[in-house]
Amino acid sequence: MAYLSLQAINKIYPNGFHAVHNFNLNIEKGEFIVFVGPSGCGKSTTLRMIAGLEDISNGDFLINGERANEWGPQKRQIAMVFQSYALYPQMTVYDNIAFGLTLMGVDEDEIDARVKKTAGILGLTDYLDRLPRALSGGQRQRVAIGRAIIRKVGVFLMDEPLSNLDAKQRVTMRAEISQIHRQTGATTIYVTHDQTEAMTMADRIVIMKDGYVQQIGTPYDVYFNPRNVFVAGFIGEPPMNFIRRTVRGGAIELNGQKLDLALAMGRACPELEGREIVFGFRPEGIQLNALDKEAYRITGVVELTEMLGDNANVYMNIGEERAILKVTPHQIPQMDQELTFTIPYKNVYLFDGGSEKVLTANKGNKA
Ligand code: ATP
């Protein structure tokens, strides 16, 4: 039995806005789940329904198999870490971490032991006497996490907890939160709009758009086997390249170069004849100077290059289309030069032009 279960959950706000549609998810004890998607897709609303801060309009929310829709936040045994740390400015780090337990009337010795243990996990032992204003953003965020984990609840909910940190601190805290999760083993649901955070931290990712779940899967799964154009474009940086074409004679054509769909699909596909499809390939899914016969060859003109250090982006004009390629720093071509690259068939994605659902399947298995 799943620890937490969201069954056909919907949220309709009092003004009639339908923010979350038919959300289904079972979460096992100890899992690290990330809700990701663009602003307004319903991530925070779903998290707040789990926390008991927002009513569930319809559907069932189960904790350990018991219907918990009407339970208050206390009974749910859930702690939440918000975007703003909301620390008490006049209280020391020690008192901020201890605050929840003090309110609950927990015995002082026990509070002391738990504060010290929590501070140890979070690397805050040397800062317990400081006031929040004498801490860096990352340290403040750790105090906020400390206040949540000291309560030994079953579930942690985190709503964009790193959004107030700069890029470097975010990378460090990302790893720290993963580490804390490993140490505490607590079930965690984490909300972010940042696909890199989602990919690096999650056991499973829930990708949302406009109130609908688009896909639920491991980072490996959502990267190699995106279910639709939205997921394929959302996961991966730079995003997957997409080109729309109508199928003629079992092929699509790009800048005069034909892609035989039977080769890309691994089977004959007469049902696609005359239909519009979306051809997708990842910037990192290409090869330069490769003689691979099991590949689609494309020639274009280099428009711009960006040296990033460990790799480089190459912006290509391919007839009337544009695409980004990822290459090594030693492969950076000259601007305005003609460049031929290949896309191995196993790296070719095809989607239906109407529904935008994927037509190619199980790419990860071939990688
Ligand atoms: P963000 O990343 O910007 O926080 P989100 O994915 O967390 O976005 P939500 O905050 O869950 O999105 O909001 C989902 C949708 O519900 C948005 O369109 C938002 O405008 C709407 N919404 C949120 N709260 C209310 C409310 N109280 N009444 C009506 N609509 C609301």
Residue nearest to atom 19 of ligand 1 (CA): 40
- The CB of 18 under 6 Å from ligand 1? The reply is no
Per-residue model confidence as pLDDT tens digits over 305-315: 999 999 999 99
- 220 Cβ below 6 A of ligand 1: no
Q: State both tokens at 48.
A: 């707040």
Residues sharing a CB contact under 8 Å with residue 247, sequence separation 6 or more, in sequence order: 261, 272, 273, 274, 275, 276, 277
Span from the CA of 25 to the centroid of ligand 1 (angstroms): 20
Among protein residues, the one with the nearest Cα to ligand 1's atom 22 is 19
Q: Is 45 in the pocket of ligand 1 (CB under 6 A)?
A: yes
CATH class in words for 239-365 = mainly beta
CA–centroid distance, residue 37 to ligand 1 (Å): 12
For a ligand 1 pocket test, name from 10, 23, 39, 164 the mutation site with the most ligand atoms within 8 angstroms of its C-beta. Answer: 39
| DSSP β-bridge partners for residue 260 | 251
Strands 287-288, 58-63: parallel, antiparallel or unpaired by DSSP?
Answer: unpaired
Q: Please name which of 189, 209, 221 lies closest in space to residue 29, comparing C-alpha atoms.
A: 189
4-230 CATH, one of 3.40.50.300, 3.40.50.2300, 1.10.10.10, 3.40.605.10: 3.40.50.300
Give average pLDDT by consecutive 10-residue segment, the chain, 367 residues: 95 97 97 96 96 95 96 88 80 94 91 92 91 89 87 87 80 86 90 94 97 98 96 96 97 94 92 96 91 85 96 96 96 95 94 96 59
Answer positive or negative: Cα dihedral of 127, 129, 134, 135: positive
Evaluate: CB of 20 within 6 angstroms of ligand 1. no
Q: Is-contact 249 274, C-beta < 8 A?
A: no
Cα(164)–Cα(160) distance, rounded to whole angstroms?
9
Q: For residue 8, how many other CB atoms are within 10 A of its CB?
A: 11
- Reading the block at residue 322, the tokens are 């544009």
Is the shortest distance between the CB of 193 and ligand 1 below 6 Å? yes
d(CA 219, CA 205): 7
Residue 319 is encoded by which pair of tokens? Answer: 């007839």
Report residue 118 as tokens. 């929590």
Amino acid 365: pLDDT: 52
Q: Is the CB of 13 under 6 A from ligand 1?
A: yes
| Residue extents of the structural domains in the chain | 4-230, 239-365
Question: Phi then psi for 148, rounded to 5 degrees?
Answer: -80, -50
Give buried/exposed letters for 161-172 (b at 16+ CB in 10 A, else e): bbeebeeebbee
* Residues near 179 by beta carbon (within 8 Å), at least 6 away in sequence: none
